[in-house]
Structure 1
Amino acid sequence: MSTILAYTSPARGHLYPAVAILDELRRRGHRVAVRTLASEVPAMLARGFQAAPIAPDIEAISHDDWRAGNPRAALRRNVKVFTQRAHHDANDLDQAIRAERPDAVLVDVNAWGAVAAAEAWGGPWATFCPYPLPLPSRDVPPFGPGLPLARGRLGRMRDRLLRPIVLGTLERVMIPPINRVRAQRGLSAHRMIGEAFGRTALLLYLTAEPFEYTRTDWPDNIVMVGPGTWEPPVEPPSWLDQIDRPLVLVTTSSEFQDDARLVRTAFEALADEPVVVVATLPGGDPATVRVPANGRLATFIPHGPVLDRAVCAVTHGGMGATQKALARGVPVCAVPFGRDQYEVARRVEAARAGSRLPATRLNRDRLRAKVREAMTMAEGARRIQQAFAAAGGASAAVDAIETRLLNAYRAAPS
């Protein structure tokens, strides 16, 4: 039996996708230790993991990118958050390694300090990524603005011209603070953003093609296993069984980004449609929302039971909510507000698994039209559902952990 230590950043959207992998590790006889949000420790203990909270100083540093006036300013604010957390999560992982004495470590890619600490530790370690990977490729547009896939010679020329501009901005903002974190651990500096994902023998990427763009230059250490769709085992509300019309689920970010207007606009847009609109608002104030006769609003509702009956999911473009819908064959109307959501929304559109409406163009009439458009794309959503299932999920992830980390490390000469 091996001990696997998993370490997450302070976001449910990063813990929940990893839970099925941790469950599978435990099912195969491994001892699983977890460091995550304090509020989620009881749930992780109930699953049989050795769980403890990350340092409170980490949770105290929250995102404020929604205050930024443009995407570049938002990126700088997010990088500042990750850098501020890095000092704490590096030391936090050190302490966890001393306490748990793991055989391998699995780290959330957003915990920059913990990633550096895992590399400096010297034992086998892996990372997992539950959002679009900002990995440069000759086959896809430069990451960030959610550009459409190149078509023909002019499209490829566009990518060649924009790649150094867009990628250069990303690297100028991200690489210096990452290297400062690495220098504190005596690690070599990164020259390019792609190097940040290549230091580990294994990066578990929680998606699959063709929702992720097909590339010919994937690094060998990246294994796509499909999304993690676990959610807390909460009893669905009793009123759900009383609904006899098609459902539309509306979701917003679990980390505050001032996106409550998506719920307000969805209720207005769909008030006269022959559907019931079920909306969740975990990061906002429900008192600011007027609920129509065909609407239901809650801070949290388990998405699974709603999606099992849904004809469309309206998401903020978050990778977790979007992939959870597609994993059930439900088409998506993605309304990105920022962060990686532009890339998620564009992938929905490119896969013909739904529609895309930038938040800057969000209004009642446009959203109604985009929801209707998404509802015609169930076939594309089912195609993605099948691709996600074929990727192997938690079983494929644990196969990779066992073969690429545990077995390879044992077989290496001392």
Structure 2
Amino acid sequence: MPAYLLCSPPIYGHLQPIVDLGRGLRQRGASVTVLTGRKYEDLVLQSGLAFAPLPGEVDFDDDDLDAWLPGRDKMHGLAAVRYGMIGMFARVIPGQWRAVEALLGSGSFDAIIGEASFTGLAPYLARAPKDRLPVVGVSAVPVIMASVDAAPFGTALQPGTSGLARARNAALNAFLLRGPFRPVELAVKEAMAEVGVAPSGVSFFDFAYRSFDLLFQLSVEGLEYPRRELPDTVSFVGPLRAGGPSGADLPGWWGDLQSGRPVVHVSQGTIDNVDLSRLLVPTLRALAEEDVLVVAATGGRPIADVVTAMGGRLPSNARVAQFLPYDELLPLCDVFVTNGGFGGVQRALAAGIPLVVAGSTEEKPEVAARVQWAGCGVDLRTGTPRPGKVLAAVRRVLGETSYRQASETLRDEIRVLPDPIDVISDALDRLVAGR
């Protein structure tokens, strides 16, 4: 029985695919230990996996990032991106690595699987392959690798295909690495020095793509900008497969989804849902007079909070729940209005659903830009759209068949791929046997 160590930062959107992968590997006969934050111990254990906690100095609550990154709410643009990268992915390297090192010293593993943003593996990956276990990466976010074919990650600019666009991309990449993002590189260098490891010379943005033995991108090429520099060790394997009917109790209004009206789903996810006035409330207001059914998921927030935010009354065409089973819901939807969480976007595309995206935090503006580039939705280019802007975008997506067609093309691209867990499991078997 192979034994694998899976590592993820304590961020739900990054961890959930790792847990799903771990569950799949366990079903295929592997022993799996997951290293992540204590908040998610129950999630790991309930999946039948062994749990190992990150030390307190690198364990944060993804529902309260303001406590981990004080002042982040006052930052915007590249400054906010830089601040988040340093706080969540650079200065955590020593603590994450020490946790990995302790587990390797006390357990017997055949390989390590790291979520691509788990930078605590950088000191281990600095060793020669013959002096370490096989290490593969799994990426649950868009590709961030610098390229002449794409604008720098964080700018949310369309890549362009002309010679002028490529020159712009190259100039922007050079400028950002030497200017606004240089503090990120310095923070990584300092973190590596703290654990006695020389920097590899690979930039922060290229780390996952040039350091892991293999990297599995949990998306499809049709949703990603082409990059000539992308190594052949990187594979697009599509999002993890749905697990079938959830068995969860459906709300009493579920039958309304079969009324014949277009169904518009709106969600702010499970993390960026503290302020429901950012997207959920504007969408309910925007569509209150439309001949559609609006289905909102609060991501755990009490439904009463939505009622209060709406002034004490929900529109007659609104249906609200804390959580909804996406495997049953999305095939019944005509549009998904989202703040751009990559996992939710991929699940919508796996069902062939076009999108309206309003993202402004973490990687969400980049997700929104890719949705528009792929033609499968509209990028509102803000995380706090006004109702009128939401209304116009939903009408556009419902009225123009090209959005649905583009989404269905990506759905078909996803469907023809083999099960990603089979692909990753087979690759691990080969790496372990080769070692």
Do the aligned partners of residues 302 and 87 (structure 1) sit closer, same or farther apart at CA in structure 2, a change above 3 Å counting?
farther
Q: Residue by residue, what CA displacement relative to the aligned partner does 1:26-57 show, whole Å, maximum 9, x if unpaired?
A: 23221111223434433433333223443344
1:32 maps to which residue?
A: 32
Aligned partner of 1:289 in structure 2 is: 309
Q: Distance in 2 between matches of 1:60 and 1:162?
A: 32
Residues 93 and 299 of structure 1: CA distance in aligned 2, closer, same or farther (over 3 Å): farther
Match of 2:170 among 154, 160, 164: 160
Is residue 112–residue 181 contact of structure 1 (8 Å, CA) maintained in 2? Answer: no
Which amino acid is 2:137 matched to?
T
Contact 1:247 1:306 in 2 (8 A): no
Deviation at 1:269, TM superposition (A): 0.8
Does the residue aligned with 2:371 lie in a helix, a strand or coil? helix
- Spell out, residue by residue over 1:104-161, the C-alpha distance to the aligned partner (whole angstroms, 9 max, x if none): 1111232222443565682221222111121012222222111113143433333233
What letter corresponds to residue 381 of structure 1 in structure 2? S
Whether the 8 Å contact between 2:2 and 2:31 is mirrored in structure 1 is yes
- What is residue 412 of structure 1 aligned with on the other side? none
Please point out which of 65, 70, 90 is paired with 1:63.
65
TM-score (norm 2): 0.85
Indicate whether 1:263 and 2:280 are aligned. yes
Q: Which moved more, 1:346-355 or 1:374-383?
A: 374-383
Give yes or no for contact 1:229–1:324 (8 Å, CA) kept in 2: no
Alignment pair present for 1:390 and 2:416: yes
Corresponding letter in the other structure for 1:235? A
Tell whether 2:261 aligns with 1:254. no
2: CA distance, partners of 1:103 / 1:240: 49
Alignment deviations for residues 213-243 of structure 1 (CA, whole Å, 9 cap, x no partner): 2233311221221123558946043325321
Unaligned runs of 5+ in 1: 410-414
CA distance in structure 2 between the aligned counterparts of 1:229 and 1:259, rounded to whole angstroms: 31
2:373 is aligned to 350
2:262 pairs with 1:277 = no
Deviations 1:56-87 (Å, cap 9, x if unpaired)? 44333652375033212212331223344333
- The AA in structure 1 aligned to 2:21 is I
| Mapped partners of 1:144, 1:263: distance in 2 | 24
- The alpha carbon displacement at 1:310 in A equals 0.8
- Change in Cα spacing, 1:173 to 1:386, as seen in structure 2 (3 Å) is farther
Q: TM-score, normalised by structure 1?
A: 0.89
Choose the corresponding residue for 2:252, options 226, 235, 239: 239
What is the distance in 2 between the residues matched to 1:218 and 1:170? 24
**1:371 aligned partner:** 394
Measure, in 1, the Cα distance between the counterparts of 2:266 and 2:362: 19
> Greater CA deviation, 282-291 or 69-78?
282-291
More divergent stretch after superposition (119-128 vs 366-375): 119-128
Secondary structure at 2:137 match in 1: strand
Three-state SS of the structure 2 residue aligned to 1:131 is coil
Q: What do the CA deviations read for 1:301-331 (whole angstroms, capped 9, x no partner)?
A: 3322221211111111111111111111111
Higher mean alpha-carbon deviation, 363-372 vs 42-51, is at 42-51
Amino acid at match of 1:368: L
Amino acid at match of 1:185: V
Which gives a bigger RCO, structure 1 or 2 (Cα 8 Å, sep 6+)?
1
- SS for the counterpart of 1:373 is helix
Kindly provide the amino acid, as one letter, of the partner of residue 194 in structure 2.
Q
Q: Residues 165, 340 of structure 1: CA spacing in aligned structure 2 closer, same or farther, 3 A cutoff?
A: same
In 2 relative to 1, CA 371–148 (structure 1 residues): closer, same or farther, beyond 3 Å?
same
Structure-2 change in CA distance of 1:173 and 1:401 (3 Å): farther
C-alpha contact 2:356 2:380 (8 A) present in aligned 1: yes
- 1:97 is the counterpart of 2:110: no
Distance 1:105 1:315, change over 3 A: same
Which residue type is aligned with residue 181 of structure 1? A
Q: Which moved more, 1:150-159 or 1:370-379?
A: 150-159
Is the contact made by 2:361 and 2:383 (CA closer than 8 Å) also made in structure 1? no
Q: Hey, what's the Cα distance between the residues in 1 that align with 2:323 and 2:116?
A: 26
Give the share of equivalent positions with the same residue, in percent: 26
Consecutive unaligned residues in structure 2, runs of 5 or more: none
CA contact (8 A) 2:94 2:192 kept: no
**Structure 1's 70 and 216: CA in aligned 2 closer, same or farther, altered over 3 A?**
same
8 Å CA contact 1:179–1:190 kept in 2: the answer is no
Moved more, 207-216 or 238-247: 238-247
The answer (yes or no) to whether the contact 1:21–1:398 under 8 Å persists in 2 is: no
**Distance (Å, rounded) in 2 between the aligned partners of 1:90 and 1:382:** 42
Instruction: Give, as a single letter, the amino acid of the residue that structure 2 aligns with 1:14.
Output: H
Residues 177-196 of structure 1: matches in 2 within 5 Å?
Answer: 177-191=187-201, 192-196=203-207
